[in-house]
Amino acid sequence: MRRGVVLVGVVLAVLVAWAAPGLAQNEGEPDQSQQTVLTGTLRLGFDQFFAGVEITAADESGTRVGRATTDQDGRWTIEVPAAGDYLVTLNEQTLPEGISLREGHQSTAGATVLQGASRAVVFAVGEAPKGTPFGERAAQTVFNGLKFGLIIAMSAIGLSLIYGTTGLVNFAHGELVTFGAVIAWYFNTSWGGLNLVLAALAAMVVCGLLGAGMETGLFRPLRRKRLGIFQLLVVTIGLSLLGRQLIQLFFGPEPLPYTDFQVQQRWEFGPWAVTPREVVTVAAIIAVLVGAGLVLQFSRFGKATRAVSDNPGLAEASGINVNRVVLWVWVLGTTLAGLGGVFQGLDTDIDPFLGFQLLLLIFAGVELGGFGTAFGALVGSLIIGMSTEVSTLWISPELKFVVPLAALIGMVLLRPQGLFGIKERVG
């Protein structure tokens, strides 16, 4: 228990340090987040930004209230006089040659903004030319699906391991993903301006400490009090809500990018057009997952983890320290979740809902592969990621999450234990 208190104290100290820049800022001039603004970033993919594009905002009566031009990073901001509903219009004539709005998307979008808040408005531009051969588009979406599936798998394996050893379905796992991305962002920007690689390593350490603190300072005492799985599940839901609000309070509502590896020239490999960042992301995730798999398969820790997952009572009777195994599973699971958040933030931007938006897909990957099996979580996540991206060849990208969730429902109906799960008798 003493160690748990120390670890929780370390995590609280990190949170205080995290909050300090925002609190210090409030003592001086009011920051941008206190203004009522409409904002956005105009870009194609994750490395091509459009400058000089005109954006205007009008109120419900049609009266123009503001105008902005995108900067070299594609960003624009319009301060509006008060909270309310606004119409934001992109001047298509100011778009670069060869760039247009995607088919089915309008140049005017409605937006509702609250007083003192910032509302992001998205315009979908730069759809692939219709003349692009289907084979090239299919090859590109398969690569995108592989990358997305690996990012989901990075987080899903941690969730599956925690469930396998404790029986806990952690609904706060999405916030652990966001926490890793946000901590890496702070190390990359405010806390010393570290290179993103070093920032990611530091974020992994902080996430591991947070996982250890959650296990020894919260869940282990609750298990000793013999709380049931349902009560523990409710606790994780509360932690999810609390974590999301704290992240939004200190980080802010605006999506923000890392300072490294943003603008890169695409490499052409046959039908694939990828950036060096995407190649390194895929290679790094594969290396981490292979390393984690070797540890779980051949190390003493991996064998002990499987023993605790199969039968905690028998494992303890055999001389295995169950509490220590569960502690290290939490450390490994939260570390992988945080690293998954870093990669997802590198692929998109970091915002307070980054992990929450992935949570349903993480659960889908774990359920598809079978709860409690790391290998099953990997395979299930790859299927989810691949089906999500490949489905855009035939349906609108806005509907792409319907396909994996439909596959999940079908799997639950036909094989509830998942692809690699084991049937259990209930009752």
Q: Does domain 38-120 have CATH number 3.10.20.30?
A: no
With contact defined as beta carbons under 8 Å apart, do 284 and 336 qualify? no
Tell me the mean pLDDT in the region 289-306: 91
- Using the structure block, give the residue that is written with the tokens 């990997």: 378
Tell me the mean pLDDT in the region 309-332: 91
Name the residue ranges covered by the structural domains of the chain: 38-120, 134-414
Please report the beta strands in 83-179, taking only residues with DSSP state E, as ranges in sequence order.
84-90, 108-113, 118-120
- Using the structure block, give the residue that is written with the tokens 């105008």: 67
DSSP 94: G
pLDDT of 263 strictly over 50: yes
Question: How many residues are there in the chain?
Answer: 427
State the first-to-last Cα distance of the chain, in angstroms, to the nearest integer.
Answer: 36
pLDDT of 311 strictly over 70: yes
Give the burial string for 44-80 (b: 16+ CB within 10 Å, else e).
bebbbbbeebbbbbbbeeeeebbebebeeebbbbbeb
User: How far apart (Å, rounded) are the C-alpha atoms in residues 15 and 329?
Assistant: 23
Q: Which residues contact 230 (CB under 8 A, 6 or more apart)?
A: none
Tell me the mean pLDDT in the region 324-330: 94
CATH level 3 topology of 134-414: ABC transporter involved in vitamin B12 uptake, BtuC (1.10.3470)
**pLDDT level of residue 333 (50, 70, 90 thresholds):** very high
- pTM here is 0.70
pLDDT tens string 121-131: 888 776 545 55
CA-closest candidate to residue 346, choices 140, 197, 211: 197
